[in-house]
Structure 1
Amino acid sequence: MGKEIIVVREFDKERDCLGVEIVERSCEVGPSGKMSLFTDLMGDPICRVRHSPPFLMLIAEMGVEKEIVGLIRGCIKTVTCGKKLARNGKNASENNIHLPVYTKLAYILGLRVSPPHRRMGIGLKLVSNLETWFRENGAEYSYMATDNDNEASIKLFTGRCGYSKFRTPSILVQPVFAHRVKLPNRVTIFGLNPNEAESLYRSRFSTTEFFPSDIDSVLNNKLNLGTFIAVSDPYRTWPGVDRFLVDPPESWAVLSIWNSKEVFRLEVRGVSRLKRGLAKTSRLIDKAFPWLRIPSVPEFFRPFGLHFLYGLGGYGPDSVRLVRALCGFAHNSAKESGCSVLVTEVACCEPLRLGIPHWKRLSCAEDIWCVKRLGEDYSDGSVGDWTKSKPGLSVFVDPREV
């Protein structure tokens, strides 16, 4: 019998949804021998990239029956890859004012190959076809993210596709308890409208690595639940973003909340009955005695949603405490929305990381980001080859890619 032909083509929502769902369900995410996560894409296989145009989803099919055996998603955006010293404008250079250097970056996510069809070159073929589309659309770099335990994915990308390990941020996960988190006294939290949030982010964070040039599209997206800023006494009223940027308080912190619950649901599998029973007991006690503030385990064993915290930043000696207050505010908001976890991703050396509550068992200390240069760098030359640059203290994680 001859080798069966593998055909890679663009996803067709009218006829491919069932086949894609079968592949997704056969590919649970998680290290072998440990509990795993199953992702339910809410009936829309392309939903995780449609918020980041331009985007593409490819499938691989095999045999005369055209069985779907693999899939991959990708999108392209313009992000900050470095910074340059401003040379125009009065006193710009003297005051060390930096401007962002942008590049066109492609992102690969959701590579899946059904278990019976692995080690047949399907994953490599999907990546190669997607990279062709990236190049045709002007992308200068491509990157992907995976957890440190996913040896097969790391081996494919670094060993066969020419990617190199680039950044190692941490994914921090906090359960949403049955009780509300008590917010600290003498901290005031203000909600910003999208225009104010855009002004703040462009002014303070536009030179942060991976900052999206279309931050306005992110902040105005229907999945964005708002941007919130925390300050200490005696800063009691919001003066407006313009005045804030001219004369900020000594300490402040900011974050935005993204409603991933409306995009996909997760489900933890492979957990013993004993652990399920202990988790249920903790929830019952927490619900009956909320004033005890018991750190109960949410219902992870059926589909649950999450809120993603992004755009996290701040300044001043009290900024860590203010970040913790914002995370408490986000927790209470997620509780009202029926979410089970809060998730954020930060650089491994992020100074504000100390203010982010999380459970070590649920978190990922080292998420691997691998990058590849697709062509010449079309920036102004301030960065050179981004793949060889040193990491900064922070990264800006785009919630559309979560």
Structure 2
Amino acid sequence: MTVVREYDPSRDLAGVEDVERRCEVGPSGKLSLFTDLLGDPICRIRHSPSYLMLVAEMGTEKKEIVGMIRGCIKTVTCGKKLDLNHTKSQNDVVKPLYTKLAYVLGLRVSPFHRRQGIGFKLVKMMEEWFRQNGAEYSYIATENDNQASVNLFTGKCGYSEFRTPSILVNPVYAHRVNVSRRVTVIKLDPVDAETLYRIRFSTTEFFPRDIDSVLNNKLSLGTFVAVPRGSCYGSGSGSWPGSAKFLEYPPESWAVLSVWNCKDSFRLEVRGASRLRRVVAKTTRVVDKTLPFLKLPSIPSVFEPFGLHFMYGIGGEGPRAVKMVKSLCAHAHNLAKEGGCGVVAAEVAGEEPLRRGIPHWKVLSCAEDLWCIKRLGDDYSDGVVGDWTKSPPGLSIFVDPREF
């Protein structure tokens, strides 16, 4: 008999870590990614407004944890509408449509107990908690080629394929990356950053209504705006007028980006690499450290635990917006280098026009991450009209760093 119950850190930690190890490490001779949650299995969801972790336990006398699942709930933008309260003499004002969205992540079933319906049971129990807490939709993210996961959610659990964003990963080199001298990077305080995001991005799909909680979180390393050097906003100290004024009179081109410190939540490690791969990677780092002025790309030490910084809230406008994003990514790289990280990452919509400004290595990145969604009920307490699952994708999405 399999019993599904809430995770108890006082007695379940060792069992959960054992299942994590069994699931993450792939067959001998193949590269696999191991995630170390730093002794806190719920660290990836505890920063969300509402969260839960369930475990599946098997046995009568000697109980064994054979699976687990994590979930969280938040309110996000799922569309937009015109504000009918404005008079005809005023410009049209677009307002966001919000919905209560649940997110499923970290579903694991021990390899020795698969094909017994344990994963399905965990998902169903989590969905019941979602419904009890008013969630209107549930979604999951999985690798496009993870056929077992895709079959479970789209075949048995009633989810449908929804969005295919790209995960872009770039190594952190041993040398600093130059930020263009034609660009000025300005760090915003959390209140000003919130103003910018609410004015400019609140109608972007998946934008979290509690963006202030994200920006004020201890893992948030800051929000940065790039403007042309020499413009009225890039002329030095005291030239920033505040986000509202800035967006009212923006420069010809600009970009914004925020950085989240995932290193303090979890570490990653690539396992199964051959000795030759390790030697080549180490050689590139030695050369980069010895001759930093050459600015040679080097492979970080990903074969032992490493951290990452996540770039989110990426946006901008103007003919040089892509170059502005590239400068912000260079600034984020240098922050990650100072923080001892191995990589920097971002996740953007597949058709995001600014993705060309995000440096990344194809071998480390995922061209198509698959997001699947399910409608949990017919009640729409926030005024949502229609079915979000049937809506066409937009050019951009807002990826919440708390769930990466």
Would you call these one fold, judging by a TM-score over 0.5? yes
Confirm or deny: 8 A CA contact 1:82 1:383 kept in the other structure.
no
2:304 maps to 302
1:201 maps to 197
Q: Distance in 1 between matches of 2:2 and 2:28?
A: 28
Q: CA deviation at 1:109?
A: 0.2
Q: CA deviation at 1:34?
A: 4.3
Q: Distance in 1 between matches of 2:88 and 2:345?
A: 41
Q: Distance in 1 between matches of 2:266 and 2:364?
A: 18
Confirm or deny: 8 A CA contact 1:257 1:308 kept in the other structure.
yes
Confirm or deny: 8 A CA contact 2:29 2:274 kept in the other structure.
no
Q: CA deviation at 1:270?
A: 1.3
Q: Distance in 2 between matches of 1:269 and 1:45?
A: 20
1:131 maps to 127
* 2:214 equivalent to 1:218: yes
Q: Distance in 2 between matches of 1:363 and 1:264?
A: 19
Confirm or deny: 8 A CA contact 1:83 1:383 kept in the other structure.
no
Q: CA deviation at 1:250?
A: 1.1
Aligned residue-pair number: 397
Match for residue 249 of structure 2 among 242, 247, 250: 247
Q: CA deviation at 1:30?
A: 7.0
The C-alpha deviation readout for 1:125-165, integer Å capped at 9, x for no partner, is 00000000000000000000011111110010001000000
Q: CA deviation at 1:91?
A: 4.6
2:393 maps to 391
Q: List alignment gaps of at least 5 residues for structure 2.
A: none
1:238 maps to 240
2:140 maps to 144
* 2:64 equivalent to 1:73: no
Match for residue 62 of structure 1 among 58, 64, 67: 58
- Are residues 40 and 363 of structure 1, via their aligned partners in 2, closer, same or farther at CA, if it must alter by over 3 Å? same
- Are residues 379 and 347 of structure 1, via their aligned partners in 2, closer, same or farther at CA, if it must alter by over 3 Å? farther
Confirm or deny: 8 A CA contact 1:183 1:325 kept in the other structure.
yes
Confirm or deny: 8 A CA contact 2:336 2:344 kept in the other structure.
yes
Match for residue 97 of structure 2 among 90, 94, 101: 101
Q: Distance in 2 between matches of 1:31 and 1:337?
A: 32
Structure 1 window deviating more from structure 2 (304-313 vs 229-238): it is 229-238
Q: Distance in 1 between matches of 2:88 and 2:292?
A: 56
Letter in 2 for 1:38: F
- Are residues 316 and 389 of structure 1, via their aligned partners in 2, closer, same or farther at CA, if it must alter by over 3 Å? same
- Are residues 50 and 313 of structure 1, via their aligned partners in 2, closer, same or farther at CA, if it must alter by over 3 Å? same
Confirm or deny: 8 A CA contact 1:84 1:382 kept in the other structure.
no
Structure 1 window deviating more from structure 2 (119-128 vs 236-245): it is 236-245
- Are residues 32 and 272 of structure 1, via their aligned partners in 2, closer, same or farther at CA, if it must alter by over 3 Å? closer
Per the normalisation by structure 1, the TM-score is 0.96
Q: CA deviation at 1:29?
A: 6.7
Confirm or deny: 8 A CA contact 2:66 2:113 kept in the other structure.
yes
- Are residues 165 and 32 of structure 1, via their aligned partners in 2, closer, same or farther at CA, if it must alter by over 3 Å? farther
1:39 maps to 35
Structure 1 window deviating more from structure 2 (20-29 vs 372-381): it is 372-381
1:290 maps to 292
Q: Distance in 2 between matches of 1:191 and 1:126?
A: 43
Confirm or deny: 8 A CA contact 1:101 1:379 kept in the other structure.
no
Letter in 1 for 2:305: P
Q: Distance in 1 between matches of 2:382 and 2:338?
A: 47
After TM superposition, where is structure 1 displaced by more than 3 Å over at least 4 residues in a row?
Answer: 29-34, 379-383
Confirm or deny: 8 A CA contact 2:26 2:32 kept in the other structure.
yes
Confirm or deny: 8 A CA contact 1:377 1:385 kept in the other structure.
no
Letter in 1 for 2:100: K
Q: CA deviation at 1:394?
A: 0.2
Q: Distance in 1 between matches of 2:48 and 2:88?
A: 37
1:171 maps to 167
- Are residues 296 and 20 of structure 1, via their aligned partners in 2, closer, same or farther at CA, if it must alter by over 3 Å? same
Q: Secondary structure at the match of 2:174?
A: coil
The C-alpha deviation readout for 1:225-259, integer Å capped at 9, x for no partner, is 00000000322232222321221111100000000
Confirm or deny: 8 A CA contact 2:28 2:272 kept in the other structure.
no
- Are residues 333 and 383 of structure 1, via their aligned partners in 2, closer, same or farther at CA, if it must alter by over 3 Å? same
The C-alpha deviation readout for 1:190-213, integer Å capped at 9, x for no partner, is 000010000000000000000000
Q: CA deviation at 1:379?
A: 5.2
Letter in 2 for 1:161: C
Q: List alignment gaps of at least 5 residues for structure 1.
A: none
Match for residue 51 of structure 1 among 42, 47, 51: 47
Letter in 2 for 1:219: L
Q: Secondary structure at the match of 1:39?
A: strand
- Are residues 281 and 158 of structure 1, via their aligned partners in 2, closer, same or farther at CA, if it must alter by over 3 Å? same
